[in-house]
Amino acid sequence: MTTGGSADAEPAAGPGPEQAAGGTPSPIGHPSPDSGPYGPSPDPGAAARRPATSLLTWGTVALVLVIVIVLVVIKVTGSPAPPTPSAAVVPTQAAPAVVKAVTSIPESVYDAVGVTSSDATLTPPTLLHGQPRLTSGGKPELVFVGNEFCPYCAAERWAVVASLSRFGSFGDTLYATQSGSNEAFPSTPTFTFDDTHYRSKYLTAMLVEHYGDQKNGAGTAYAVLEPLTREEKVLLAKYDRPTPGSPGGIVPFVDVANEAVVAGGEFSPSVLQELNVNEIATGLTDPKDPATQAIVASANYLSALICRADGELPARVCTSSGVTKAATALGLSS
């Protein structure tokens, strides 16, 4: 990743179960109960003559005190012991039919939709001006930063996968997942970019899932899945602000060659609610389907930006009606 010089950003604290970004709640302490009070040590000789019933009585008192203290600790902390780490979840490869549907949407659907969405409000990418070009390996670079548990990231990934597939291939490295079940728009079907490998002769793509969908060992926040690099922190600190002066850290974040950014997603996950992954995939051949319109219109916007960054290649994509409509809407047309 190559870009102009910028200062390092401070790493963000881990988000809690219902946060897209922000501070991580501190784990609740679980003090170990004391062993219980005992009287002063008796004379050793006297101890030898102490009746067994006396020893039993003292032992019973000590045991009762320990139990009482433990119950008090449980009452105060709300938990008898620290939660154990969640079990690692093995990624599930996305179904071939779903992958084929999202990576080979007919050009006629892209052209028919353009940038129109009947049910979803679209938020087009924000153009950047006068910024150092973002490249890698001599090619323009697209950077995506999201969290697996995040529903807006779940929605945006459909558009990112669709758009990037017009310029290259993910091969067989797309994995299925869904957003967190306790988040807004819960369990939104999507893909994860964790361990994804994208290849293109036109651009490079850095696809990062910063936080996963599993909790940390204390059960207080989602665990970090992929630490951010220095360059990624710089991009987020500099460009991940929807309006001047507002706090950064809005995901999903998409940077297309430092020529435009998406902060927070292009459409609401609400349009994907009540749909399973197969229903979303099947609808991608119907330009009148509300979910298809949101995904395809967003993909057309991203495609128009990639075309601008890579010299309008390939021509079959960059001169298509859907992409030219998006370019016009973004103000890219000369």
| Digitized pLDDT (tens) for each residue of the chain, 334 residues in all | 765 543 343 434 445 433 443 333 333 233 333 333 333 333 333 334 344 444 445 555 555 555 545 444 334 333 333 333 344 456 799 999 999 999 999 999 999 999 999 999 999 999 999 999 999 999 999 999 999 999 999 999 999 999 999 999 999 999 999 999 999 999 999 999 999 999 999 999 999 999 999 888 888 999 999 999 999 999 999 999 655 555 557 999 999 999 999 999 999 999 999 999 999 999 999 999 999 999 999 999 999 999 999 999 999 999 999 999 999 999 997 5
Cα–Cα distance between 76 and 314 in angstroms, integer?
A: 64
Which residue type sits at 309?
A: A
pTM attached to this predicted model: 0.75
Residues 225/209, Cβ–Cβ less than 8 Å: yes
Where does residue 257 rank: exposed (0-12), middle (13-18), buried (19+ CB within 10 A)?
Answer: buried
Cα–Cα distance between 68 and 101 in angstroms, integer?
A: 61
Residues 139/310, Cβ–Cβ less than 8 Å: yes
Transcribe 33-94 into DSSP letters.
Answer: PP-----PPPPHHHHHHS-HHHHHHHHHHHHHHHHHHHHHHHHHHS-SSPPPPPPPPPPEEP
Tokens linked to 182: 């306790």
Cα–Cα distance between 262 and 126 in angstroms, integer?
A: 6
Tokens linked to 119: 């049910």
| CA 16 to chain CA mean position, Å | 13
Q: What are the φ and ψ backbone dihedral angles of 287, each rounded to 5 degrees?
A: -70, -10
